[in-house]
Amino acid sequence: MSQQVKIYDVAGAAGVSLATVSRVLNHPEKVKAETRERVLRIIKEKGYKPNANARGLASKRSTTVAIVIPSISRASVAEMIEGIYDSARKYGYTIRLFITKDEEDPRDAWSEVIASSVDGILFMNDETTDATYKEIAHTPVPVVFVNNISSSDEFGSISIDYEECAYQTTKEMIKRGNKKILFIDTIHKYSANELKAAGYERAMKEAGLEVDILYSTGNLNINQNDFKTYLDKKVPEVALAVRDSMAISFMNVATKKGIKVPEQLQVIGFQNTRYAVLSNPTLTCIAPSIYDIGSRAMSYLTEMMKDDQKKEEERDSYQKKAANIIVDYDVIWRESTK
């Protein structure tokens, strides 16, 4: 249980004051090259790492950002966090993780995040109500919405244009001669899913085709019943599902009923999880660059935090800069489509 090296130890060994050691770390350009080299060498030798708490307290900056997510088990969260993490490391930030539980008061959750004294917040949320906006309006550090377009111009966001990619994909399937196109959505209204549905509807209406949306829960057993009931009545030419799991489940139910995929029914998922390639047939997917969303969100947050260090008056600038950044997507054609 060895004692951690303190800045005093380094200063002593290098024959300088602790102020100089601190400067070497925080404003190296203000220190004479010769001194800097010497201090740096000692830092390395002794394995000195500044105490994060002391640093945070003195500088009012913690070089820590919070990731706030509703639940970590959602399919894409892991990849997004990985994107955030890699980007955060590049900028020297550390991650604090918060999972907001549905059953608890979001007010408490948010103030806990703030109290943890982070320099910025990456906020992933499937549905952002006005109440949420009010909640987070007084946050003393920059907030960036991840994978969820912010409808407020107070906060920036990084996301896929879900409306557009649903629109384009539906349109493509129409162009390929399909008319009966089903959209499978969650009962619960998530803002991303609402955008997907809107894009689908736009394409269908433009082509004069009938909009057909099947709502089901995320629960697999209920899904399967709903899907069976639906398929007893009719078989669409194409099914687009907001989640890969729903797409695969729909495909499995159809296959068991003797419906051939993709000959009679083509299926498309919206997430491109790793399991899209494990289904049989493999699943064609709209593939958002989830990793990129994470890493771009972090780098955007970094910019905002830089601005945040400036004085109050100048600060308005970044508020106005609040941008909704759109990240690319691909469509990966696999066996579930012709």
Partner DNA sequence: CTGAAAGCGCTTACAG
Q: Which of 43, 50, 80, 100 binds DNA (CB under 7 A)?
A: 50
Residue list 209-238, contact with a copy of itself (CB under 8 A): 220
Query: Under rule CB under 8 A, which residues in 21-50 are in contact with a copy of itself?
Result: 47, 49-50
Q: What 3-state DSSP class applies to 98?
A: strand
Best CA proximity match to 89, nearest among 235, 302, 251: 302
Spatial contact of 136 and 110, defined as CB atoms under 8 Å apart? yes
State the distance between the two ends of the chain, measured CA to CA, in whole angstroms. Answer: 63
Instruction: Read off the tokens for 237.
Output: 């030419």
191 in Cβ contact with 201 (< 8 Å): no
Residue 27 binds: one of DNA, a copy of itself, none (C-beta under 5 to 8 A by kind): DNA
23 binds DNA (CB under 7 A): yes
Q: Is residue 16 near DNA by the rule CB under 7 A? A: yes
Spatial contact of 292 and 328, defined as CB atoms under 8 Å apart: yes
Q: Are 189 and 160 in contact (CB under 8 A)?
A: no
Stretch that binds DNA, among 19-27, 196-204, 236-244, 264-272 (CB under 7 A): 19-27
- Applying CB under 7 A, which part among 20-28, 179-187, 253-261, 267-275 lies near DNA? 20-28
One-letter identity of residue 200: Y
- Confirm or reject binding of residue 73 to a copy of itself (CB under 8 A): yes
Sign of CA dihedral 199, 205, 209, 212: positive
Phi and psi for 247 in degrees, rounded to 5?
A: -60, -45
CA atoms within 13 A on the CB side of 156: 28
Q: Report the residue from 91, 190, 275, 318 that binds a copy of itself according to the rule CB under 8 A.
A: 275
Q: Does 184 bind a copy of itself (CB under 8 A)?
A: no
Q: Which stretch binds a copy of itself (CB under 8 A): 32-40, 122-130, 190-198, 242-250?
A: 242-250
Contact partner at residue 190 from DNA, a copy of itself, none, CB < 5 to 8 Å by partner kind: none
280 interacts with a copy of itself by CB under 8 A: yes
Per CB under 7 A, 207 contacts DNA: no
Site membership for DNA, residue 202 (CB under 7 A): no
Distances (CA, A) of 85 to 21, 82, 114, 222: 28, 5, 20, 36
CB under 5 to 8 A by kind: which of a copy of itself, DNA, none does 147 bind? none
Residues of this chain that bind a copy of itself (CB under 8 A): 1-4, 47, 49-54, 56-57, 62, 64, 67, 71-73, 77-79, 81-82, 85, 94-99, 111-112, 114-117, 138, 140, 220, 245, 248-249, 252, 255-256, 274-275, 277-280, 312, 315
